Chain A
Amino acid sequence: MMDGLKRGAAAIVGVAESDLGQVADGMSPMDLVAQGTQRALADCGLTLKDVDGLFCAMTQARMSIVQMIEYLGIQPKFIGSSMTGGSSFEFHVAQAAAAIQAGLCSVAVIAYGSTQRSVGRRQSSAREINPYETPFNPFMPTSAYALAASRHMHQFGTRREQLAEVAVAARKWAQLNPVAWEKKDLTVADVLKARMISYPFTVRDCCLVTDGGGAIVMTSAERAKSLKKPPAYVLGCGHGITHANISCMPDLTVTGAKPAGEAAYKMAKLAAKDCDMVQLYDAFTINTILFLEDLGFCQKGEGGAFVSGGNIAPGGKLPVNTNGGGLSYCHPGMYGLFILIEGVRQLRGECGARQTKKHDVAMVHGNGGVLSAQASVILGTAATV
Chain B
Amino acid sequence: MPNDATSPYATYLSHLKKGELAYQFSPAADRAVFFPRVLCPYTGSDKLEWRVSKGRGTVYATTIVHPADGAPYNVALIDCDEGFRLMSRVEDVTPDAVKIGMRVKFRVHKAGGEADPIPVFTPEVA
Give chain B residues whose Cβ lies under 8 Å from the Cβ of A135. 111, 115-116, 118
Segment of A7-15, A38-46, A78-86, A193-201 in the binding face: A193-201
Give chain A residues whose Cβ lies under 8 Å from the Cβ of B64. 196, 198-199
Minimal beta-carbon separation of B17 from chain A (angstroms): 14
Asked if A150 contacts B118 (CB within 8 A), the reply is: no
Segment of A90-98, A138-146, A293-301, A311-319 in the binding face: A138-146
Query: What are the interface flags for B42-80 relative to A under an 8 Å C-beta threshold, 1 for contact and 0 otherwise?
Result: 000000000000000000111111110000110111000
Within 8 A of A (CB), among B87-114: 87-89, 95-96, 100-101, 111
Task: Give Cα A18–Cα B118 distance, bound, in whole angstroms.
Answer: 45
The count of A-to-B residue pairs whose CB atoms sit within 8 angstroms is: 75
Asked if A150 contacts B62 (CB within 8 A), the reply is: yes
Using CB atoms, name the residue of chain B closest to A147: B61
Task: Give Cα A143–Cα B116 distance, bound, in whole angstroms.
Answer: 22
Minimal beta-carbon separation of B52 from chain A (angstroms): 17
Asked if A247 contacts B62 (CB within 8 A), the reply is: no
A131-B116, A132-B87 are contacts. A138–B9 as well, Cβ < 8 Å? no
Query: What are the interface flags for A137-170 relative to B under an 8 Å C-beta threshold, 1 for contact and 0 otherwise?
Result: 1110001001110110010000000000000000
Asked if B86 contacts A132 (CB within 8 A), the reply is: yes
Asked if B86 contacts A147 (CB within 8 A), the reply is: no
Asked if B118 contacts A136 (CB within 8 A), the reply is: yes
Does residue B85 face the partner (Cβ distance < 8 Å to A)? yes
Using CB atoms, name the residue of chain B closest to A199: B64
A131-B116, A143-B75, A151-B100 are contacts. A198–B89 as well, Cβ < 8 Å? no
Query: What are the interface flags for B14-34 relative to A under an 8 Å C-beta threshold, 1 for contact and 0 otherwise?
Result: 000000000000000000001
Does residue A133 face the partner (Cβ distance < 8 Å to B)? yes
Give chain A residues whose Cβ lies under 8 Å from the Cβ of B66. 195-199
Minimal beta-carbon separation of A128 from chain B (angstroms): 14
Does residue A176 face the partner (Cβ distance < 8 Å to B)? no
Instruction: Name 16 extra pairs, CB < 8 A, besides A147-B63, A151-B60.
Output: A131-B9, A132-B86, A135-B116, A136-B89, A137-B65, A137-B73, A147-B76, A147-B77, A150-B61, A150-B100, A154-B61, A154-B100, A198-B75, A199-B95, A199-B96, A252-B77
Question: What are some 13 contacts across the A-B interface (CB < 8 A)?
Answer: A131-B116, A135-B118, A136-B118, A137-B65, A137-B73, A143-B63, A151-B61, A154-B61, A197-B65, A199-B63, A199-B95, A248-B85, A252-B61
Binding site for A on B (CB under 8 A): 9, 34-35, 60-67, 72-73, 75-77, 85-89, 95-96, 100-101, 111, 115-116, 118
